[in-house]
Structure 1
């Protein structure tokens, strides 16, 4: 839960009440500190470091990630989201013996790395006895609370406000009390602090009061009454952020101050001492202390703190204090910050990397050094999910330099932002522009940019940009032994595929094989290889590659890559007639993409889900959201329209199906994966009484099918369009060619059975329709099973009570239950499953507990019988 509200509204007090009521729970406390927002994992360290002895109980990748993030071991975090997975698992471990309560105050000031980790864990909490409560002050800085319950605190009502004022200041005159009540707006802190100030200095408050500023003014007046030495010591505390009294006093000693100077602030209840720690009574006091200090005093204090924090463990804090103390460009301080940026990058703190590189750039003494650091900052900002900052920094870097490498990288970053913010076509155009600058000087990087250009142009249906990118790729000189070589060959072949060239198929299939054999080892290029296999009907090879890649991503903790992998994997499973597997992959990808803020990938996976959704209204609603942006994302929109067309076709709405499928087969994505929609378009056209339209796209499909040896559906289309008895031969040919593609064969049997029934060959029709119904039911294709069942009823068969979900036990499972059952059936333990799916072990157990009765098992060992069908 997130508790939101203005400063002083009572968030911290409510948090303290929650803590006092949680006597039987394990309590973890955290707090955001504004001065530490650029120190990666400082907030998470405060909460979880006391339990670092439990890290050994975590999966190896997660344990290593947390140790690296906390500086307990050297190494590089492979994926920043892995720390969120480790946080979730650690919290689950801590909840094994008693419930856990995590309280985080002022979460708006948490460093971004800690916040990302906590929110990832929060969004995936399910069956564990864990409560996480964060308080957030309303500021201009947006807080990513989507997916969490939010409670907004309002002010006290008038009677409660009157009671508070009467208790705190019983002697206040009626006019002053009424004025205070009117202007405080029910804010408890305003009522308390202003009441006290009015009591001691009523004349100082004769002017108009204003809630936010008036509370700060009350604190400022209290600070103004303190001795100068005390105010300076409070500034040290405000600038420090560690709350370590030893650090504060050592820095104070450099300024000629001592512990005694803290006394007046304690007496005024502005600070609280707790053992070896010192903190402000309220965060606003810290803010007022720092913001109202003269600039030269802040510089002096930061310099003293930098000199005090001289150990290696304080290197990052020292770098930031040096930066705050700098009065102009300083290459030494810039170098310190650059080293801090590299350390943050190793630990997975991409937002901190961006901040450190940007500040280092501002302190750089040379223009080229400033441009280089700015482009590093832009890359880190993009990786941290801050596209506006990434664009701003990239543009500034490009304007500062004439170096092709820096300008190319800046352009590439702008391209990647454009994919999300503008369109895939804008991404392709910019990536192509950047690649032109370095195609000779850095061919490996140019290939990466051109790979982006080709694939984004593919998404956009921008064939002119595909061809321009492919032409530039032809000029790239890389060794034949390079891992990029199969990708270059495959992308060039893709350009030829758009023109219907049969010779394009072997290089694309070779790319799949190279990726499967480990010759291509880059995640992006292997994902593209998976897509390439689907483009040329190498569905089994592509799906096997993507299955292996998903397993590798889980093993390596590359959580951020999984949504990209699961999209083509879901499509591949769907094309192979495995709707359960497709739904499981799509649901997992959607869940992850949503939790880690990958909006475009949410959209792409939603397009797949349109076809898998059993509820027609829900399917149409999902497709409507995607198709609003069909001009910018035509391939995604076409995939959604294909799904709608198939729903309508299965339900007997041929005219509606024809409308959807005609848009797919006539649109810019028709030369891509969507060429496979042509047989469905032909079927819809024939059923709608428009055989003329059925032939509109068959020629292109026949060319593709001949090149890919995917000819079974060509025979099916010929059967549909045959006038005489030769339809029988075409249907039988199609069934022979389908091989073990059960779903495709069932679609052909359904059409063949309908044709046989119309020819009054009732016995033959019944055999084909029964086989089709049973296959659809087994595969969980409910709409198609119902259509076959209706045809059987037209033959006089009695209506069958069973439906797809009854014939297929797996159809009763939710996608996540199915994913868990798949892994459990393969022999993985709950802990191993949890590590792969980024869930807690308890949540895995909860899913199995719910799944067992649905599929009729009572023991884990019984799941073995499902291995062959999952």
Structure 2
């Protein structure tokens, strides 16, 4: 029975109860070694017995480089269910387990497969996963487990991680934490008296002081004190002193180990050096050192290890650590060399390579090649941190300096792909220091650039990407084009004119092959410099050609993003949405989560400008969630800038301003384009509330700012409206000439409609009527509902002032209906005011979006369900379990007024 842990036990019992009722969640139990984490995991296993399926795993420090080791240990006994998973997920998990070959597996797809497999198991029997010493779990396994744990949702699954505090922080983002401290004095005393009765009073006090309430220390130090009291070997000069509790306990284990026979100590070292092998292999290695099973007996009698049917199990991980760390270096080398000689089966190739590396103290190309092969195998399994570790160690053992630089560079790239930015930067800098090879310098600099996007700013990324591309512009123009594409995109984010022009000039100097598919994209980004510099005429044709070519497998994801930005700049929002839908669909299919937030940003902007505010909210919500999960703070802030605009148009002026205040300080320094977007959103709220002067000043900062000629050119009509409504007609045309040039150049019906609206606002007398009529005709050609309703509102206001009451009412009612449908409450109130001025009572909302009551995730689910996708197919697309999809549908049906899936079709929901 555990003492002093009543609150912790209640927390665990609640976790298990929730899992059995279909509410999955995860918990990380943290604390120093010996504080009771393992005991709480054992309690969870005992309480779960007979109610939940229990899957257990443990991290081993010496095996942290072996990709998917712990994941293989956990659900592998149920691997026969892998065939039930969606095809790409099943293939990814089989590759991760080494059951099948794959060219390369995305780590997020392995996480999605892990979630689905656990959901399949939980559908049969509620399931509990227990992972002790999680800080030593290989990164590939932990990534997959955390990915799944954050999405348990309605699955009958619980996970408990035991995490030991170490010098290196071990993060478990998105997982609840339970931190253990030392036992209270009364509980510590009860445990001490139970484990080591008969201690003298001074002995008890000394142990209580030295243990600081640590249960393991209480047992071990108490036992040592009792032996000292029995034998009379008590050092009166010994004081508790500053030594850490863990160090005291480990020193006690070291003393016990030192009292064992030499052969027993060596056999324990063999067991400590590789826990992944069975006892037969341990004994085979032991035989090479002249040892046998008999040499194990003293350690078993001392209670340091136990032998089950196929494994040697240390009583506590600190014993293993004490055995290995305090063994002489030459003995460790000899043991690792023996393992390398014994592990000759093909399935042991990775383990053998690491033992060879541990037994090698000087550069050795044979061992380096073995580790490189391990890295390549892990690449095909999706174990990115295992790839990085293997390439890193291979580099250390390389004889040739150039091969060392190449391997360290590959280690840096794998670390970046694994999300370990600090390691990626360190290794990239080291690779550069090892060689004068320009291609290595360029690749390493580009890795640093990608890290800097989220760590510092898009401008920092652009600066480094320009530098990287310059190094290989002549030798590898295709790769330079990719680096420059990123540089120009980042310069655009930062609204940095100098960086943008430099990028365009470098693109102009590239000598791509005549038939290069990148040619059209390079030409388009060169054209960006013209358009974003205020000269759209020469840019439109080239950018339009790029947009038309941005479909299919021949276009990489980066250049699809480039084409989508071109679409926004030319007001071709439908094309942008289509390109991003294609990218998102493809990325979901293969688990490329890192691309999805950027694609959702562009999709949200496209939906925003077409008036599909519900779809924009869904995209923003998912994008923010993924950005935070993937450690992308700048991208999350960029998406929140879109949310500012959405809050404004929905009528939540207070929320709009609050969010803008929260994000603007950071965005103004990093992502100035979206900082201007957020400013525009706040100005909209002010304009609708009648504060035209304040709105005008804000809009002037947008329309005259560094990003004025980006998609933010569309803020000019609002600037004109604010100027006219505030009585500042002299300021209304400050930016109108630029807008007119843009509208003429893009030759887009929406642009033409907005320009005609501006002219109508500035028209004198009855000249406004034909301008409004022309604007509405262009709107009809374009089909955008939101901007058309904005024009109708203004026209209705003008007609009312001209006492054309019937015509005014007609336009105002149609605008009201559209705003109601779109949920644009910002403008509904203004229409109500106009109708009231006509003598009409403000009408209640006529029609609302049937999805308005749903959460963003429920909207995603019901739209896909309405399109005919099964729960399993929807789950695969959204990286959720089928049961969680069913839960969302169950919650959504009553909100939509339906009772079954088939009824969704009649609601006219579009994907």
TM-score tier after normalising by the smaller chain length:
over 0.9
Deviating more after overlay: 348-357 vs 13-22 = 348-357
Question: What is the CA-CA distance between 1:687 and the residue it aligns to?
Answer: 2.5
* 1:207 to 2:238 alignment: yes
Q: Report SS of the residue matched to 2:173.
A: coil
| Deviation, structure 1 residue 204 | 6.2
**Match of residue 608 from structure 2:** 574
SS of residue paired to 1:2: strand
1:496 aligns with 2:530: yes
Q: Distance in 1 between matches of 2:450 and 2:205?
A: 57
Partner of 2:797: 754
Q: 1:166, 1:519 → 2: CA distance?
A: 71
Secondary structure (helix, strand or coil) at the match of 1:402 reads coil
Q: Does 1:634 align with 2:686?
A: no
Distance 1:520 1:694, change over 3 A: farther
The secondary structure found in structure 2 opposite 1:711 is helix
SS of residue paired to 2:670: coil
- Once the two structures are overlaid, the 10-residue window that deviates more, 601-610 or 842-851, is 601-610
Deviation string, structure 1 residues 5-42 (Cα, Å, up to 9, x no partner) = 11111010001001100121111111111111111111
CA distance in 2, matches of 1:617, 1:412: 41
State the match for 1:643 in structure 2: 681
- 381-390 or 190-199: bigger deviation: 381-390
Q: Could you report, residue by residue, the CA deviation over 1:260-311 in whole angstroms, capped at 9, with x for unpaired residues?
A: 1111111111112221111111111111111111111111111111111111
Instruction: State which of 689, 711, 719 in structure 1 corresponds to 2:760.
Output: 719
Give distance in 2, aligned partners of 1:647 and 1:336: 63
Match of 2:564 in 1: 530
Q: 2:813 aligns with which of 770, 773, 782?
A: 770
Classify the secondary structure of the residue corresponding to 2:841.
Answer: coil
Alpha carbons 1:651, 1:784 under 8 Å: kept: no
Secondary structure, in 3 states, of the residue corresponding to 1:134? strand
> In structure 1, what is the equivalent of residue 40 of structure 2?
14
2:388 to 344, 354, 362: 354
Specify the alignment match of 2:721 in structure 1. Answer: 683
Map 1:309-348 onto structure 2 (within 5 A).
Answer: 309-348=343-382
Q: CA RMSD in A?
A: 1.7
CA contact (8 A) 1:531 1:542 kept: yes
**Cα–Cα, structure 1 residues 586 and 204, in superposed 2: closer, same or farther, change >3 Å?**
farther
Shift of 1:683: 1.8
- Who is 2:543 aligned against? 508
How far residue 590 of structure 1 moved from its aligned partner, in angstroms, is: 2.2
Residue in structure 1 matching 2:843, options 788, 791, 800 = 800
> SS of the counterpart of 2:56?
strand
SS at match of 2:54: strand
Q: Structure 1 residues 391 and 204 mapped into 2: Cα distance closer, same or farther (>3 Å)?
A: farther
Is residue 305–residue 315 contact of structure 2 (8 Å, CA) maintained in 1?
yes
How far, CA to CA, are the matches of 1:501 and 1:579 in structure 2? 28
Distance 2:257 2:726 in 1: 82
CA gap of 1:655–1:28, structure 2 versus 1, over 3 A, is farther
Q: 1:399 to 1:766 in 2, by over 3 A?
A: same
| Mean CA deviation greater in 323-332 or 602-611 | 602-611
Q: Take 2:222 and 2:909, find their aligned partners in 1: how far apart are those partners?
A: 74
* Residues 105 and 379, structure 2, Cα contact 8 Å, conserved in 1: no
SS for the counterpart of 1:226 is coil
Cα separation, partners in 2 of 1:52 and 1:651, compared to 1, 3 Å: farther
Q: Secondary structure at the match of 2:538?
A: helix
Shift of residue 459 of structure 1?
Answer: 1.0
> SS at 1:725's partner residue?
helix
Equivalent residues in 2 for 1:106-505, closer than 5 Å:
106-201=133-228, 203=233, 207-209=238-240, 210=243, 211-242=245-276, 244-499=278-533, 500-505=535-540
What do residues 140-182 of structure 1 show as CA deviations (whole Å, max 9, x unaligned)? Answer: 2222223221111111111111111111222211112112212
Query: In structure 2, do the counterparts of structure 1 residues 688 and 244 end up closer, same or farther at CA, with 3 Å as the change threshold?
Result: farther
What is the distance in 1 between the residues matched to 2:134 and 2:674? 37
SS in structure 2 opposite 1:154? coil
Q: Determine the structure 2 residue equivalent to 1:736.
A: 777
Question: Partner of 2:829 in structure 1?
Answer: 786
Distance 2:802 2:220 in 1: 91
Contact 1:834-1:844 within 8 A present in 2 as well: yes
Task: Identify the residue that residue 616 of structure 1 maps to in structure 2.
Answer: 653
Q: In structure 1, what is the equivalent of residue 3 of structure 2?
A: none
Q: Distance in 1 between matches of 2:265 and 2:702?
A: 70
SS in 1 for 2:178: strand
- The unaligned stretches of length 5 or more in structure 1 are none
Contact 1:822 1:867 in 2 (8 A): no
User: What residue in structure 1 maps to residue 629 of structure 2?
Assistant: 595
Shift of 1:70: 0.6
Q: For each residue in 1:783-827, what CA deviation from the matched residue of structure 2 results, as whole angstroms up to 9, or x when unmatched?
A: 222221232223222233337xx6222111111111111111111
Cα distance in structure 2, aligned partners of 1:840 and 1:297: 49
CA distance in 2, matches of 1:33, 1:641: 51
1:409 Cα deviation from its structure 2 partner: 0.8
1:663 aligns with 2:687: no
1:519 is displaced (CA, Å) by: 7.1
Match of 2:868 among 806, 824, 827: 827
Q: Which moved more, 1:613-622 or 1:406-415?
A: 613-622
Distance in 2 (alpha carbons) for counterparts of 1:639 and 1:515: 26
- Secondary structure, counterpart of 2:669 in structure 1: coil
Cα offset, 1:54, TM superposition:
0.4
Counterpart-to-counterpart distance in 2, 1:652 and 1:146: 44
Q: Distance in 1 between matches of 2:558 and 2:502?
A: 21
- 1:497: how far off? 1.2
Q: TM-score, normalised by structure 1?
A: 0.97
Partner of 1:133, secondary structure, is strand
**Cα distance in 2 for residues equivalent to 1:433 and 1:314:** 43
SS at match of 1:102: strand
Aligned equivalents of 2:690 and 2:374: distance in 1? 64
In structure 2, C-alpha distance between the alignment counterparts of 1:166 and 1:554, rounded to whole Å: 58
Partner of residue 57 from structure 1, selected from 70, 74, 84: 84
**1:385 shift after superposition:** 1.1
Residue 618 (structure 2) aligned to one of 584, 592, 601? 584
CA distance in 2 between counterparts of 1:108 and 1:790 reads 62
Query: 2:634 matched to 1:607?
Result: no
The Cα of 1:216 is off from its aligned counterpart by 0.9
CA apart distance, 1:472: 1.4
Match of 1:327, SS state, is coil
Whether contact under 8 Å (1:243, 1:278) holds in the other structure is no
Q: CA offset at residue 444 of structure 1?
A: 0.8
Give how far 1:868 is off: 5.8
How far apart are residue 243 of structure 1 and its match?
5.1
In the alignment, the residues of structure 2 paired with residue 407 and residue 229 of structure 1 have an alpha-carbon distance, to the nearest angstrom, of 51
Counterpart Cα distance in 2 of 1:18 and 1:54: 25
**Secondary structure in structure 1 of the residue aligned to 2:312:** strand
**Separation in 2, partners of 1:293, 1:556:** 46
Alignment partners' CA distance in 2, 1:621 and 1:612: 13
Report if aligned partners of 2:457, 2:634 keep a CA contact under 8 Å in 1: no
Q: Cα 1:175–1:509, aligned 2, differ >3 Å: closer, same or farther?
A: same
Q: Give 1:44's aligned residue.
A: 71
User: Contact (CA 8 Å) 2:797, 2:834: kept in 1 or not?
Assistant: yes
TM-score of the two chains, using structure 2 as the length reference: 0.93
Give the count of matched residue pairs: 867
